[in-house]
Amino acid sequence: MPEFDLRFTLFLLTNGVMIGLMYALIALGFVLIYKATDAINFAQGEFVMFAGFIAAGAAEFAGAPFWVCALLAVGGMIALGFALERVVLRPLIGRPVIAVVMATIGLAAVLRGTAVLAFGAGTRNISMPIPDDPIPLGPVTLPPVEVVGAAVSLIFLAGFTWFFLKSRTGIAMRAVADSQQVAMAMGINVRRYFAFAWAMAGIVSALGGIVWGAMLGVDNQLALVGLKVFPVVILGGLDSILGAVIGGLIVGVVENLAAGYFDPLVGGGTKDFVPYLLMIIVLMVRPEGIFGRRRIERV
Amino acid sequence: MFHRESGVFKTSYAADMALYPLPIARWTVAAFAGLFILIVPLICGDYPISILNLILIAIVGALGLNILVGYTGQISIGTGAFMSVGAYTAANLVTRLGAPFWLALPAGGLMAALVGAIVGIPSLRIRGIYLAIATLAAQLIIEWTINHVQWISGGVQASVMIPRPSVFGIRLVSERQFYFFLLFFVVLALVATLNLVRSRVGRAFIAIRDQDIAAEIIGIDIFRYKLYAFAISSFFAGVTGVLESYYLGIANYEQFQIDVSIDYLAMVIIGGLGSVLGSVLGAIFVTLLPIATRLFLESFGGLFFSNANLLNVIPNLRLVIFGGLIIFFLVVEPDGLNRLWRNIRNYFRVWPFSY
């Protein structure tokens, strides 16, 4: 193990926090869908990738400025969310879990193939209108892309927390998540809120696609970010927005520390391995996560 | 399979559970045996036989996964990892100890079964999507371990060369020889699965799938049988991995990644959950799909795409068709190809008097 170095550790920690917040943004899309519709979206990474492709593609083909690209990505993902809910997910309501899981896995394959067919296989860049110089913060410096990504995540996480607690639509969505039958009896149009949930996941994925695309570049490898969603949401609890933030922070910090200290020993790849190890432990000890609701099954 | 019965005249449970529902079924099986043992190797060239070999390998894996997903109702996204456990176990036995295939093959299967049972332990506490995510974690962790532990994965690129097996002193070199080798194991797997699912164990699996709490109340030890399901399914997966490595002559972690797990899940779903015939049909379908896509695009793709683009288009179009078919079957025909086949049979059962 390399010698303990305060600066290095601090760098890993702050970097982990930033990355963790960005994970939380993607995990939020997953949580929104699970919270409202009880469906597991295995295509969350592909959503993010697809949004990145839309934004990068708009900049490349039409030369659109950044804000137009971002709006296009958000609009496109909302439309995609609505369409997918109608065509794929709605017929599967009430079917076993594996059907929904498999459908989103199929969806992931379709999105990955379509994105490359439509936009080409090369890696693209999304350039945000921000300076490139690292931002100094005490003893460490931070890349501006990560800072912007983390800020966007925080704003949206706060926004969605408010949305679920206070707004009429948000309360209706919580009611739907709690019990579809009771919600129907109260005059809530359950299907409409299912569609809303997918559209909202689309918005979040669009933002995730832009910030992650700006950081990593846009190609079909961007979808691999989605693999980090599972540790994040399992740690935090599948149906908790706060859980997504905490889970994201834990995964971000742990994987950065692990990568910083263990990668030289085992030859790389710790980043992809440690979050899942952590997740397995949580699954064994407390499957519903830190903030998740414990489900009581009645016979 | 192709006969038309005039009604159901079974009077005992034994008759209901029989492998051959009617005497004529024996003739169907005999006809199939004749077709695949005598006629197919005679009329097929090397290329069709090589495709058949891939299908045969896939059938073993699909049968195994169907035992777990289709019959026991436990989701697993870790087939690829279990296959790799089997493959690397056999590869190491063969290259280090010079083990013959009849030792390496079951050893690979048993090792995979052991790992599978360990992965199955959380299934007592968690189910549904949590189990799916846990098996996904197992897939990634096993993949990482094999890739990073030199002792298992050997030299460069985490790949181990495996010499072709010899049977009764004959080294299997040609596609045709391998065809018979694989066919033997497929028949073995088919008979084993058919017998397993109508045994006490198989019925326990089905009870757990249908309603696990009810199953526990009538005295089925859920934990034990779930572990059995994981172990048996992983044994099949391990054997599949060994067969594939023998066939390709190499065990490489890239051939057992997560997309392989998804391929096998697709076979089981497209073919039909909880059906032996469905596993076979699904394996055929999913194996042929990329080959058909490639053939089609190589012949007609030039009309739509430039040659440079074509190399890029083929794998991605395959992904789109593959994912689209999974969704299509889930939405339109959840019971898969097996159900389509049953519908056709039921139609002809009373044909030409349709009511």
List B residues 275-334 in contact with A (Cβ-Cβ < 8 A): 312-313, 315-320, 322-327, 330-331, 334
Do residue A107 and residue B147 have CB atoms under 8 angstroms apart? no
Rounded Cα distance, B304 and B281, in Å: 31
Contact with chain B for residue A279, Cβ under 8 A:
yes
Predicted local confidence at residue B194, as pLDDT: 92
Predicted local confidence at residue B202, as pLDDT: 93
Rounded Cα distance, A148 and A139, in Å: 20
With contact defined as beta carbons under 8 Å apart, do A43 and A109 qualify?
no
Do residue B133 and residue A105 have CB atoms under 8 angstroms apart? no
Q: With bands split at pLDDT 50, 70 and 90, how would you rate the model's confidence at B205? A: very high
Residues of B in contact with A91 (CB under 8 A): 331
Q: Which of B1, B21, B26 is nearest to B9 (CA)?
A: B21
CA angle at B232 for the pair B227 and B126, rounded to the nearest 5° = 30
- Which pair of structure tokens corresponds to residue B147? 């890739």
Burial class of residue A227, CB neighbours in 10 A (0-12, 13-18, 19+)? middle
Paired with A17 in beta bridges are: none
Could you tell me which residue, A81 or A140, shows the higher pLDDT? A81
On the question of pLDDT at A287 being above 80, the answer is: no
Contact with chain B for residue A49, Cβ under 8 A:
no
Do residue B318 and residue A113 have CB atoms under 8 angstroms apart? yes
- Whether residue B220 lies inside any domain: the answer is yes
What is the pTM assigned to this prediction? Answer: 0.88
Do residue B141 and residue A273 have CB atoms under 8 angstroms apart? yes
Query: How many residues are present in chain B?
Result: 355
Per-residue pLDDT averaged across B199-204, rounded?
92
Q: Which of A232-241, B11-20, B36-45, B254-263 has the lowest mean pLDDT?
A: B11-20
Chain B closest CA to A15's CA: distance in Å? 24
**Closest residue to A276, CB basis, from B141, B312, B318:** B141
Do residue A98 and residue B69 have CB atoms under 8 angstroms apart? yes
On the question of pLDDT at A299 being above 60, the answer is: no
Residues of A in contact with B318 (CB under 8 A): 113
**Closest residue to B137, CB basis, from A88, A92, A276:** A276
With contact defined as beta carbons under 8 Å apart, do A173 and A164 qualify?
yes
Predicted local confidence at residue B211, as pLDDT: 87
Do residue A299 and residue B69 have CB atoms under 8 angstroms apart? no
On the question of pLDDT at A1 being above 60, the answer is: no
CB neighbour burial string for A106-136, b if at least 16 within 10 angstroms, e if fewer: bbbbbbbbbbbbebeeeebebebeeeeeeee
Asked if the bond preceding A275 is cis, omega within 30° of 0, the reply is no
The pair phi, psi for residue B78, each rounded to 5°, is -120, 15
Any residues with CB less than 8 A from the CB of B50 and at least 6 apart, and which?
B175
Q: With bands split at pLDDT 50, 70 and 90, how would you rate the model's confidence at B355? A: low
pLDDT single digits (tens) B285-313: 999 988 888 888 777 766 666 666 667 77
Predicted local confidence at residue B200, as pLDDT: 92
CB pairs under 8 A between A and B: 126
Per-residue pLDDT averaged across B78-100, rounded?
90
Rounded percentage of chain A residues whose pLDDT exceeds 90: 11
- Which pair of structure tokens corresponds to residue A259? 């990568």
Chain B closest CA to A256's CA: distance in Å? 17
Contact with chain B for residue A1, Cβ under 8 A:
no
Rounded Cα distance, B205 and B227, in Å: 10
Mutate one of B139, B142, B320, B332 to test the A interface: name it (highest A CB count within 10 A).
B320
With contact defined as beta carbons under 8 Å apart, do B281 and B85 qualify?
no
Predicted local confidence at residue A267, as pLDDT: 67
Contact with chain B for residue A285, Cβ under 8 A:
no
Amino acid at B22: L
Per-residue pLDDT averaged across A261-276, rounded?
77
Summary mean pLDDT of chain B:
86
- Whether residue B24 lies inside any domain: the answer is no
Q: Which domain holds residue B152?
A: 44-349
pLDDT single digits (tens) B156-186: 667 788 888 777 777 777 888 889 889 999 9
CATH of the domain at B317: 1.10.3470
Rounded Cα distance, A18 and B67, in Å: 44
On the question of pLDDT at A264 being above 80, the answer is: no
Q: Which of A132-141, A221-230, B116-125, B334-343 has the lowest mean pLDDT?
A: A132-141
Burial class of residue A139, CB neighbours in 10 A (0-12, 13-18, 19+)? exposed
Residues of B in contact with A230 (CB under 8 A): 133, 136-137
List B residues 75-94 in contact with A (Cβ-Cβ < 8 A): 75
On the question of pLDDT at A15 being above 80, the answer is: yes
CB neighbour burial string for A13-48, b if at least 16 within 10 angstroms, e if fewer: bbbbbbbbbbbbbbbbbbbbbbbbbbbbbbbbbbbb
Contact with chain A for residue B266, Cβ under 8 A:
yes
pLDDT single digits (tens) B59-88: 999 999 999 999 998 888 889 999 999 999
Predicted local confidence at residue B60, as pLDDT: 95
**Closest residue to A287, CB basis, from B125, B138, B334:** B125
Amino acid at A53: F
**Closest residue to A105, CB basis, from B69, B73, B326:** B326
Rounded percentage of chain B residues whose pLDDT exceeds 90: 34
Predicted local confidence at residue B230, as pLDDT: 93
Residues of A in contact with B273 (CB under 8 A): 98
The number of distinct structural domains making up chain B is 1
Mutate one of A105, A255, A288 to test the B interface: name it (highest B CB count within 10 A).
A105
Predicted local confidence at residue B130, as pLDDT: 83
Per-residue pLDDT averaged across B103-127, rounded?
88
- Whether residue B178 lies inside any domain: the answer is yes
- Which pair of structure tokens corresponds to residue A248? 């994201």
Contact with chain B for residue A284, Cβ under 8 A:
yes
Do residue B327 and residue A116 have CB atoms under 8 angstroms apart? no
Per-residue pLDDT averaged across A54-60, rounded?
85
Predicted local confidence at residue B177, as pLDDT: 86
Burial class of residue A140, CB neighbours in 10 A (0-12, 13-18, 19+)? middle
Q: ipTM of the assembly?
A: 0.84
Do residue A227 and residue B69 have CB atoms under 8 angstroms apart? no
Do residue B133 and residue A108 have CB atoms under 8 angstroms apart? no
- Whether residue B214 lies inside any domain: the answer is yes
Contact with chain A for residue B98, Cβ under 8 A:
no
In the block, residue with structure tokens 């891939």: B54
pLDDT single digits (tens) A110-151: 998 888 888 877 778 777 777 777 777 777 777 888 888 888
Residues of A in contact with B325 (CB under 8 A): 106
On the question of pLDDT at B252 being above 60, the answer is: yes
- Which pair of structure tokens corresponds to residue B48? 């069709």
